Amino acid sequence: MHTRDEGEYYMVHDDIWDWNGVGYDMLCVGCLEYRMGRVLTPADFTDCPLNRDRVAWPKSDRLMNRLGY
């Protein structure tokens, strides 16, 4: 699933999204991490253009950090 919030457009693996009860909602990185009880790591994110393209999809400093940039 995916979400967007002021520079936080991202997609994580479906099992992470489902496990944390998000459903069709959207969450910022901080809210998802709160539900998970941990910080996101690069392995949590899907390999898709949304997560890779830093120009077309603006990214917050926090998201850039979690993606491993």
> Is 19 domain-assigned?
yes
% pLDDT > 70, the chain: 90
> Is 54 domain-assigned?
no
Looking at the structure of the chain, the number of domains it has is 1
Q: Could you report the per-residue pLDDT of 21-41, keeping only the tens digit for each?
A: 777 778 889 989 999 999 999
- Residue 67 predicted with pLDDT over 60: yes
> Is 28 domain-assigned?
yes
> Is 16 domain-assigned?
yes
> Is 39 domain-assigned?
yes
Record the pTM: 0.84
Please give the residue range of the domain that contains residue 40.
Answer: 2-44+59-67
19: burial class by Cβ within 10 Å (0-12, 13-18, 19+)?
A: exposed
Q: Mind spelling out the 3-state secondary structure of 1-12?
A: CEECCCCECEEE
**CA trace torsion 40, 7, 45, 16 (10° rounding):** 60
- Residue 2 predicted with pLDDT over 60: no
> Is 50 domain-assigned?
no
> Is 30 domain-assigned?
yes
- Residue 4 predicted with pLDDT over 60: no
Q: Which residue has the higher pLDDT, 57 or 13?
A: 13
Name residue 11's beta-bridge partners.
2
